[in-house]
Structure 1
C-alpha cells in the first residue's frame, strides 16, 4: 500500500479557498469590507512570502465564525461553494486524486485552511476519504473563534499526519511510496518527509528547492508555461 497526500489551495484548487472565503465574507456584508479585506490580503501576502504568523492569522480568520448558529454558517458556506468554489475546482486535480484512489493508495488532503471551509470541498469535489486540516474549536455546538490542537501548517502538517497514521497503527515506513503534492514553500517540511515529493505549479521558492533537489515539477492548470498544453511535467 502507498500513501498519497495532497495540499488543497493552489494545488488541487485553482485558487486559495481561505483567502477567497475572506473576500466572500466581505462581499456578503458579514464583515467590515474595507478593514477585513486589507487584513485578509496582508495575511495572504505573508503566507506567500513564508512569513505568516499562524496564530495571528487563525485569530483573524476564525473570529467571524464565533457564536453564530451552525444553520446560518452552513447556508453561508453553501453559497460560497456555489458562487466561488465551483469556479476553482480543477479537473486535472480531480484526475490526479482519482488515479491514486484507483491504485488503492491511502489518500488524504493536508491543508492549513480550517476544516469548516475545506471539509465540504474535499468531500464533494475530490472525494478524498481523509482530511487533515486546522480544526476550529467548538463549545456547546458553536465555534469559539479559536483553533483546537496543532494547526496543519508547516511542521504542524508532519505532526498531524504522523498522529493520523499512528491512529491506524501506521507510520511513513509502512508504505512502499509516499507522495505529497504541493505548490507552497510552506510545505517544504512535509515534502522532505515523504519519499515522492512533487511540486505542483510551485511558488518561486518551492520551484528553486525542487529544481535543486531534482523533485518533479508538474502543472495541473491545463497548460504549460507558455499557456498551452494539457497539464504536463515541467521538470523531472
Structure 2
C-alpha cells in the first residue's frame, strides 16, 4: 500500500486560502467580526516579520477562528463553500487527475495541510475527491458551536508526525508502507525528507533549487 499526501495551498489549490477567506469575509462579516480579524491580522504581520511565515499563518488562522465564535458547524460549512466558489479557477486539475490515477492503483490519499479543515472538506467535495483530510481544525463545543479556537496547525514537522500516526493506525504493514508527498513549499522540507517519493509541485525559485539539489522530481501538468 502507498500513502499519498497532497498539500493544499500552492499545490492542489494554486491560489491562496488567505486571499479567498478575505474575499468571502467581505460579503459575510459584520463590523464586530472585522474588528476581531483586523486586530488579529496586525498581530499576524508582526509575528511574520519577527518569527517567519509559519508564525504568520498561525496568527492569521487564530484571528479568523475568533471571528467565527458562536457560529454553528452548518454555518461554517456554508461559509467555506463560498471560498470554493471564489477559488474554483485555481484548482490544479492536473494534480486532481494524478490523484485519481493513484486511487486507481489502490493508494490511500491524504490531503495534508495547515489550511482550515472546513475549507478542505468543501474543496475536496467540489472536485469529487474521496480522500482523507488531515488539517488544522476549528474547535466546537458539545453543541456543535464554534469556540473561536483552533487545534494544532498542521505544518512542517507536524505533517510528518500526523502521517506517521495515520499510517500506524491504519496499516498492519507499517514498515512496508511507501509514502508519496506532493507539495510546493520550503516548509514541507521535513515531509520531503520523510517521504519515499517526494514530488515538488509549482515550486518557486528557492524550492526549485532545493529540488534540483536533492534530485526531487517536479510535477508538471500535461
TM range (shorter): 0.7 to 0.9
CA offset at residue 194 of structure 1? 0.4
CA offset at residue 102 of structure 1? 0.8
For structure 2, the residue ranges without an aligned partner over 5 or more in a row are none
For the residues of structure 2 that align with 1:64 and 1:217, how far apart are their CA atoms? 38
Larger displacement relative to structure 2 (162-171 or 129-138): 162-171
For the residues of structure 2 that align with 1:38 and 1:59, how far apart are their CA atoms? 7
For the residues of structure 1 that align with 2:174 and 2:212, how far apart are their CA atoms? 24
- Give the paired residue count: 214
TM-score by length of 1: 0.79
Match of 1:115 in 2: 117
Match of 2:131 in 1: 129
Match of 2:197 in 1: 196
Q: Structure 1 81/186 Cα, relative in aligned 2: closer, same or farther at 3 Å?
A: same
Secondary structure in structure 2 of the residue aligned to 1:3: strand
Does the Cα contact within 8 Å between 1:101 and 1:107 map onto a contact in 2?
A: yes
Does the Cα contact within 8 Å between 1:11 and 1:182 map onto a contact in 2?
A: yes
The C-alpha deviation readout for 1:17-60, integer Å capped at 9, x for no partner, is 24321332124444439x749938x75x949x953215423321
Larger displacement relative to structure 2 (15-24 or 160-169): 15-24
From the two aligned structures, give the one with the greater helix fraction. Answer: 2
CA offset at residue 144 of structure 1? 1.1
Match of 1:216 in 2: 217
Match of 2:59 in 1: 56
Query: Are 1:9 and 2:12 counterparts?
Result: no
Does the Cα contact within 8 Å between 1:136 and 1:145 map onto a contact in 2?
A: yes
In the TM superposition, what are the counterparts of 1:135-214 in structure 2 within 5 Å?
A: 135-139=137-141, 140-148=143-151, 150-169=152-171, 173-175=175-177, 177-214=178-215
For structure 1, the residue ranges without an aligned partner over 5 or more in a row are 221-229, 231-236
The C-alpha deviation readout for 1:91-130, integer Å capped at 9, x for no partner, is 2121111111111111111010010211121233151420
Match of 2:21 in 1: 21
For the residues of structure 1 that align with 2:114 and 2:154, how far apart are their CA atoms? 5
CA offset at residue 178 of structure 1? 1.9
Match of 1:80 in 2: 83
TM-score by length of 2: 0.83
Secondary structure in structure 1 of the residue aligned to 2:209: helix
- What is the Cα-based RMSD across aligned positions, in Å? 2.8
In the TM superposition, what are the counterparts of 1:63-102 in structure 2 within 5 Å?
A: 63-82=66-85, 84-102=86-104
